[in-house]
Amino acid sequence: MTDIPQDHPRYESLLAREKVAAGVKMGITSIQGLIAQGRGESFDYLIGERSTESALYAERAAVAALLLAENPVISVNGNVAALAPEKVVALADITGAKIEVNLFHRTDTRVHLIIEHLKASGASEVLGKNPDASLDLSHDRRLVSSKGIYTADVVLVPLEDGDRCEKLVKMGKTVITIDLNPLSRTSRTATISIVDNVTRALGNMAKLAQEMKKEKKEELVKLITSYDNKKAIAGAISEIQEHLKTMIAEVEY
Ligand code: PTJ
């Protein structure tokens, strides 16, 4: 990985780019993952590279759902494994969620490498190697574990493709997505749509989970029942608008 100086004004963004590129070299991230990261970066620019109010609103509801779930699962793909393996493990540990590798460009080698990478980051068990159940999809993301995604009541699917998100929702699951594009099919179909960078979102969620774990069950239930996903998505879009207005004012000045 290229050494990015910490005082570089675009440090976080460049570091993320290096991590995804390193993921490709390690065989963890798909080559298509580079394109996905680039798409994400452009939306992050428009959002202002911050966790917005609407993102934090969705992240709080998502953590409540994970804490109340009977069989919560965090689905990991090649980009998430490269960008935030420790944060995935931390969130799973605090919420009691299982971790399952689920890939669009699936190969047995990639699944193996990602599992080993997550274990090196502290995970004790990672599902996904020998999928024994199938979702009603025509691509490899259908291959899931009967102990994990297949029977999960709450699934966190960062950087998802809309297809599987829709299927999981139709199966009656609470589907939490993390996608910087508030207009994507994923964001529009999920139960809880977090419009934030996966690195920031997972960090925020791990912190929130630590605090919210001490709250009464009724408080967590209240957070979920009062949560309005349309409000979260509309909020994300208007936060982009507001940010662009500020940028216009700066350019005009
Ligand atoms: O590892 P695999 O084989 O499962 O493949 C994973 C990728 C990500 C390549 C695959 O799922 C894919 O092609 O995804 P898409 O359709 O490009 O969608 C990725 C979405 O995630 C886009 O809407 C991006 O804006 C968004 N995104 C990209 N990077 C980030 C992000 N959202 C949050 N944080 C990011 N760092």
Q: Mention every residue, 6+ apart, whose C-beta is less than 8 A from residue 138.
A: none
Q: Determine the residue type at 76.
A: V
What's the confidence (pLDDT) of residue 5? 79
Q: Is 185 in the pocket of ligand 1 (CB under 6 A)?
A: no
What's the confidence (pLDDT) of residue 197? 98
What's the confidence (pLDDT) of residue 114? 98
Q: Which CATH superfamily is domain 53-240 in?
A: Phosphopantoate/pantothenate synthetase (3.40.50.12640)
What's the confidence (pLDDT) of residue 241? 97
Share of the chain above pLDDT 90, in %: 91
What's the confidence (pLDDT) of residue 162? 84
Q: Mention every residue, 6+ apart, whose C-beta is less than 8 A from residue 42.
A: none
Average pLDDT of every residue of the chain: 96
Of ligand 1's listed atoms, the one at least distance from the Cα of 37 is: 29
Tell me the best of 74, 79, 103 to mutate to test the pocket of ligand 1, counting ligand atoms within 8 Å of each CB and taking the most. Answer: 79
Across 115-130, average pLDDT: 97
Ligand 1 centroid – CA 33 distance (Å): 6
Share of the chain above pLDDT 70, in %: 100
Strands of the 72-76 sheet, one edge to the other: 98-101, 72-76, 154-158, 174-178, 192-194
Q: Report domain extents, the chain.
A: 53-240
Six-digit token pair at 247?
Answer: 């940028």
Torsion of CA 227, 137, 102, 111, to 10 degrees: 180
User: What residue owns the CA closest to ligand 1's atom 20?
Assistant: 159
Ligand 1 centroid – CA 180 distance (Å): 9
Chain CA centroid to CA 152, Å? 16
Across 173-191, average pLDDT: 96
pLDDT above 90: residue 17: yes
What's the confidence (pLDDT) of residue 81? 98
What's the confidence (pLDDT) of residue 161? 78
What's the confidence (pLDDT) of residue 9? 76
pTM for the structure as a whole: 0.96
